[in-house]
């Protein structure tokens, strides 16, 4: 399968490499700033005159808005995320997909890229098959997926591994810079799912392992700036 | 131990068998991110008592009838491992471990905001790998860190400490020897958990006897001790990122 997922990654708002001035680690209940001028954003609440963190992560000031970016934790599905999942059940009108989050994903038969006979659903996707899919709706009942977009579909060959989902924006980099660098240096096909599952397929096992090691190296470096340069050095060293 | 206390009685001063001061906590260590497969994890120890907590979730809750469509639920499991004590403990759940699981759950729940995760469960596993009294308090401290590490929205951390009484003296953070003390008025164990930097208590248990006017002093001692616990927890959480 040709892998042209770049477009799909790019759209992701939370590119954590945005340059903001003040950033520090906060723990739940810690006062980030005091004063009436600030607005509480995501992961933050106001109590009297203080703005407090309500989760563990990096506090960021963007103008008057204060927010906390989570660094750890389980994946929470969002609309338009591209994710990697695995089929774990087939129902009469679709597939149930394990997307490594609290709710399982559902891929209706109508959302497959071509017409599929209801009696032959397991010939298209069988239990245990891995897919790249896009989330098209998140509601109380669950998460609905689609395969009708460029670069989505079944994953054959290669292998899948998992990183902490919150580190995905770093692995992709600003406008996909980081992932393009890794693809270029290892000449592997790589798909990064927002749920932290990563698929790699390359010409040789060595190249695949190198790509995986590079990604795991990035996932460990949480708040180092200029990671792309560090990675270029890393590739020089690990030729 | 008996000897020391006899001497203490004669001299009119009291000394703890371990040589600690009355309000001195055993050496505390905390480490976050100790279980790679969990969504959040932490280790917390008071001297020889070591607790490991792992958080999984939010994830789908089975059996389905336990699901709550308005909010997520918290499920705590406390387990004192068989090798954690001198005499092998029979493994598996017991009356005691069920009780501690439940009180730990109640101690943690007031700070969690689980409205964002309907129909799901957050599982907290607490393993005591070495026990020297104060396991529930160490477990609560570890679980609080692990929940924060798992990125669960919470109002604040929970700090926990046990205050006790040996004969007529109030002491902080009892160890096993002190808990088994039988002379005079005997030993009292008073485990407390509170929301950090506030005066809201989420766990109050009492094992033994205590005079009502002394209970107030116990809370004052606990408040001070919890501040120390909080500093250790705070440091551990900040370290995990800075490595």
Query: Residue B111 belongs to what domain range?
Result: 27-233
Q: How far is CA B37 from CA A56, B55, B101, in A?
A: 19, 10, 22
Residues 6 or more apart in contact with residue B102 via CB below 8 angstroms: B76
Give the pLDDT confidence score for residue A224 in this predicted structure.
72
Q: Is the pLDDT of residue B200 over 60?
A: yes
Give the pLDDT confidence score for residue B2 in this predicted structure.
53
* A200, β-bridge pairs: A159, A190
Give the CB-side neighbour count of residue B172, counting CA atoms within 13 A.
24
Question: pLDDT category, B87, cuts 50, 70, 90?
Answer: very high
Beta strands B49-60; B120-130: pairing state: antiparallel
From CA A92, how far away is CA A117, in angstroms rounded?
11
From CA B179, how far away is CA B167, in angstroms rounded?
11
Pick the CATH number of A82-155 from 2.40.50.140, 3.90.1010.10, 3.40.50.720, 3.40.50.300: 2.40.50.140
User: Domain limits of chain A?
Assistant: 23-70, 82-155, 159-237
pLDDT tens sequence across A155-210:
999 999 999 898 898 898 888 889 999 999 899 999 999 999 999 999 999 999 99
Residue B9 counted as domain residue: no
Give the pLDDT confidence score for residue A2 in this predicted structure.
39
Give the pLDDT confidence score for residue A22 in this predicted structure.
64
Of B231, B243, B230, the closest CA to residue B33 belongs to B243
Residue B38 counted as domain residue: yes
Interface contact B238, partner A, CB < 8 A: yes
DSSP state of B230: H
Residue B123 counted as domain residue: yes
From CA A68, how far away is CA B148, in angstroms rounded?
13
Interface contact A71, partner B, CB < 8 A: yes
The number of folded domains in chain B is 1
Residue B155 counted as domain residue: yes
Give the pLDDT confidence score for residue A227 in this predicted structure.
81
Q: Residue B38 is encoded by which pair of tokens?
A: 């969990």
Residue B243 counted as domain residue: no
Among all residues of chain B, which has the CA nearest to that of A47?
A: B155
Q: Is the pLDDT of residue A13 over 70?
A: no
- Nearest Cα of chain A lies from the Cα of B21 at a distance, in angstroms, of 30
Q: Is A82-155 in the same CATH topology as A23-70?
A: yes
Q: Is the pLDDT of residue B171 over 90?
A: yes
Residue B131 counted as domain residue: yes
Q: Is the pLDDT of residue B8 over 70?
A: no
DSSP assignment string, A25-56? EE-TT-EEEESTT-EE-TTEEEETTEEEESSS
**Is there a contact between A158 and A126 (Cβ–Cβ < 8 Å)?**
no
Residue B17 counted as domain residue: no
From CA B42, how far away is CA B161, in angstroms rounded?
17
- Nearest Cα of chain A lies from the Cα of B50 at a distance, in angstroms, of 23
Contact flag A55-B111 (C-beta cutoff 8 Å):
no
Interface test with A, best of B39, B236, B241 (most A CBs within 10 A): B241
**Is there a contact between A138 and A97 (Cβ–Cβ < 8 Å)?**
no
Of B165, B229, B164, B169, the closest CA to residue B194 belongs to B229
Interface contact A54, partner B, CB < 8 A: yes
* Segment holding B152, helix H or strand E: none
CATH code for the domain of B111: 3.30.230.70
Share of chain A above pLDDT 70, in %: 90
Where b means 16+ CB within 10 Å and e means fewer, A214-238 reads: bbeebbeebeeeebeeebeeebeee
Hunting for tokens 């954590």 — which residue is that?
A16
Give the CB-side neighbour count of residue B203, counting CA atoms within 13 A.
31
With 0-12 CB in 10 A as exposed, 13-18 as middle and 19+ as buried, what is B152?
A: buried
Q: Is the pLDDT of residue A35 over 90?
A: no
- Nearest Cα of chain A lies from the Cα of B112 at a distance, in angstroms, of 9
Interface contact B122, partner A, CB < 8 A: no
pTM for the complete prediction? Answer: 0.87
Q: Which CATH class is domain A23-70?
A: mainly beta
Q: Is the pLDDT of residue A19 over 60?
A: no
Contact flag A72-B151 (C-beta cutoff 8 Å):
yes
How many Cβ contacts (< 8 angstroms) between chains A and B?
83
Domain A159-237: homologous superfamily in CATH: K Homology domain, type 1 (3.30.1370.10)
Neighbours of B107 (CB within 10 A): 28
Interface test with B, best of A29, A67, A75, A164 (most B CBs within 10 A): A29
DSSP state of B91: P
Please tell me which of the candidates B60, B154, B156 has its beta carbon nearest to residue A103: B60
List B residues 165-194 in contact with A (Cβ-Cβ < 8 A).
none
ipTM computed for the complex: 0.84
Among all residues of chain B, which has the CA nearest to that of A165?
A: B39
Interface test with B, best of A48, A51, A73 (most B CBs within 10 A): A73
């Amino acid at each position: 399968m040709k892998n042209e997922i770049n477009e799909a990654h790019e759209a992701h708002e939370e590119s954590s490499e945005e340059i903001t001035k003040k950033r520090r680690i906060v723990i739940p209940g810690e006062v980030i700033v005091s004063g009436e001028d600030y607005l509480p954003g995501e992961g933050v609440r106001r109590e009297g005159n203080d703005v407090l963190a309500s989760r563990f992560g990096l506090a960021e000031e963007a103008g008057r808005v204060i927010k906390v970016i989570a660094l750890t934790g389980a994946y929470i599905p969002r609309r338009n995320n591209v994710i990697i999942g695995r089929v774990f059940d087939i129902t009469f009108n679709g597939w149930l997909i394990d997307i490594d989050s609290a709710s399982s994903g559902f891929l209706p038969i109508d959302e497959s890229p071509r017409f599929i006979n209801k009696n032959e659903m397991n010939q298209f996707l069988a239990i245990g098959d891995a897919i790249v899919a896009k989330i098209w709706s998140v509601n109380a009942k669950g998460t609905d997926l689609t395969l009708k977009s460029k670069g989505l579909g079944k994953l054959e060959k290669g292998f899948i591994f998992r990183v902490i989902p919150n580190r995905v924006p770093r692995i992709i980099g600003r406008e996909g810079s980081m992932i393009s660098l890794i693809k270029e240096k290892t000449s592997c096909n790589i798909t990064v799912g927002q749920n932290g599952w990563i698929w790699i397929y390359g010409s040789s096992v060595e190249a695949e392992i190198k790509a995986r090691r590079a990604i795991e190296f990035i996932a460990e470096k949480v708040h180092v700036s200029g990671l792309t340069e560090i990675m270029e050095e890393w590739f020089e060293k690990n030729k | 131990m008996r000897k020391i206390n006899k001497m203490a009685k004669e001299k009119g001063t009291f000394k703890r068998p371990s040589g600690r001061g009355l309000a001195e906590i055993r050496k505390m260590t905390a480490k976050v991110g100790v279980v790679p497969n969990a969504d959040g994890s932490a280790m917390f120890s008071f001297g020889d008592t070591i607790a490991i907590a792992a958080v999984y979730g939010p994830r789908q809750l089975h059996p389905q009838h336990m699901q709550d469509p308005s909010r997520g639920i918290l499920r705590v499991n406390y387990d004192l491992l068989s090798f954690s004590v001198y005499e092998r403990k029979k493994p598996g759940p017991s009356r005691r471990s069920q009780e501690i699981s439940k009180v730990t759950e109640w101690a943690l729940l007031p700070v969690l905001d689980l409205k964002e995760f309907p129909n799901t469960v957050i599982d907290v596993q607490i393993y005591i790998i070495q026990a020297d009294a104060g396991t529930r308090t160490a477990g609560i401290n570890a679980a609080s860190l692990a929940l924060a590490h798992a990125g669960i929205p919470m109002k604040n951390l929970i700090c926990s400490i046990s205050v006790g009484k040996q004969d007529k003296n109030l002491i902080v953070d009892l160890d096993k020897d002190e808990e088994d003390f039988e002379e005079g008025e005997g030993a009292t164990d008073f485990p407390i958990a509170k929301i950090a930097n506030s005066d809201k208590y989420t766990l109050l248990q009492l094992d033994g006897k205590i005079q009502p006017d002394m209970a107030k002093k116990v809370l004052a001692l606990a408040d001070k001790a919890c501040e120390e616990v909080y500093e250790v927890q705070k440091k551990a959480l900040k370290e995990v990122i800075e490595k």
